[in-house]
Amino acid sequence: MKLKSLKTVASAISASLALMSSVSAELIEIKGSDTLGAKLVPQLKAEYLKSNPKVTIDILAQGSGHAFSNLANDTADIGMSSREVKSTEEDTFAKKGQKLVEHVAAYDMIAVIVNENNPVKKLTLAQIEGIFTGSITDWSEVGGKAGSISVYTRNTSSGTYKSFSKLAMSKKDYGDKCQQLEGNQPICTEVSKNVNGIGYVGLAYAEGSLYKTVKVDGVSAKISKIAKYPLARKLYYYTVGEPKGEAAKLLTWMTTSDAASKIVSDIGFVPTPIAEAAIKKDTE
C-alpha cells in the first residue's frame, strides 16, 4: 500500500511539474517604456488574450532604459522603448554574442503641453530649448504673462526624456530647475494644476481638459501633420535575436494586424503604415 501510495504521489508531482513547465512556456514578459506600457500595450494585451487565452502576458513599465537591462538579464522577452537603442547598450549584448532586433511599434509625436489658462499657443524650437535648458525662465520672454516657468520632464530612465533632448534641445542638458516625473500622466497632472507649468508627453496623452498642446515651429501635434512635426519619432519593441514561439506570434500580431493598428490609432499613436504613407507623400 505504501509503495502504491508513493507512486501516486510521484505521479501527481510529475504532472504538476509538467503543468508548471507548460504555463511557464506560455509566459511572455514585456518590460520598459511607460509611453508604450501604460496605455497601449495593456490594451493590445487585452485584445490578444481574447483569441489566445492560454498565454500569460506580464507588463512592467518603468522606462525605456529598463527594456535593455531586463533583456540583458533575461528577465524580459520583449523590451518596450520610446527611443532607439544606444550603441553602449548594443555592446552589452554583442559581448555575449547576442544581437538586438528592432521592431517598430508605432509612430509618436511628443506634444508640448501648457496649462489651459496659459495664453501661449505656439513656441519655436529655439524657445522650447531655452525653456528646458533653463536659459528662458519667465513666460513674458516667450509672449506670455509674467510668471516664473515651472518645467516638468520625464526622469533619466525614460526614453522620452532622451528623445526630447535630441529632438528639441540639440542634445543639450536639461536645466537644474526641471522637475523630473516618472510618467506621462504625472506631467499632465502637474501642468493641469499649475498655470505656469510646461511639460511634454506622448501623443496618446496630448488631449486633456485642463491643459493644451502648443504648436511647435508653427506645426500642431496632429496625426495629419506627422511628416512636418519637429518632435515626431518612432516607438520600438526590442528582442534578443529574432523572437520565437508565443513572443513571436504576439509581436507579429501587435505590429501587423488590423486589430492592433486600430488600437494604436484609438490610443492616440500613429500606426506605422499610416505614418510611413504620410511621410512618403510629403517627400514626393
Residue 1: predicted pLDDT: 46
Amino acid found at 121: K
Residue 48's pLDDT is what?
98
Q: What is the mean pLDDT of residues 148-154?
A: 98
User: E strand or H helix at 22, and its extent?
Assistant: helix 2-25
**What does the pLDDT read at residue 281?**
81
State the pLDDT at residue 22. 44
Instruction: Tell me the average pLDDT of the chain.
Output: 91
Q: Are 119 and 101 in contact (CB under 8 A)?
A: no
Q: Mark out the alpha helices in 95-199 (DSSP H runs).
A: 125-133, 159-168, 184-193
Query: pLDDT tens digits, residue range 179-228?
Result: 999 889 999 999 999 999 999 999 989 989 999 999 999 999 988 899 99
Is the model's pLDDT at 21 over the cut of 50?
no
pLDDT score for 16: 54
| Span 37-41, average pLDDT | 94
Cell matching residue 53:
487565452
Q: What is the pLDDT of residue 279?
A: 84
Is pLDDT above 70 for 18?
no
Residue 224 has what pLDDT?
A: 84
Among 38, 220, 209, smallest CA distance to 111 is for: 220
Residue 86 CB coordination number (10 Å): 12
Asked whether the predicted pLDDT for residue 10 surpasses 70, the reply is: no
What pLDDT is attached to residue 259?
97
The residue-averaged pLDDT of 241-265 equals 96
Residue-by-residue DSSP string for 74-122 = T--SEEEESSPPPHHHHHHHHTTT--EEEEEEEEEE-EEEEETT----E
Sorted by where each starts, the structural domains of the chain and their CATH numbers stand as 2-107+235-283 (3.40.190.10), 111-220 (3.40.190.10)
> Binning pLDDT at 50, 70 and 90, where does residue 118 land?
very high
Residues 6+ apart with CB under 8 A from 145: 118, 119, 139
| pLDDT, average across residues 17-42 | 78
Calculate the dihedral angle through the C-alpha atoms of 185, 37, 53, 271, rounding to the nearest 10 degrees: 100
The confidence band for 15, taking pLDDT boundaries of 50, 70 and 90, is low
Predicted pLDDT of residue 88: 96
Residue 24, pLDDT score: 47
pLDDT value of position 212: 97
Beta-bridge partners for 147: none
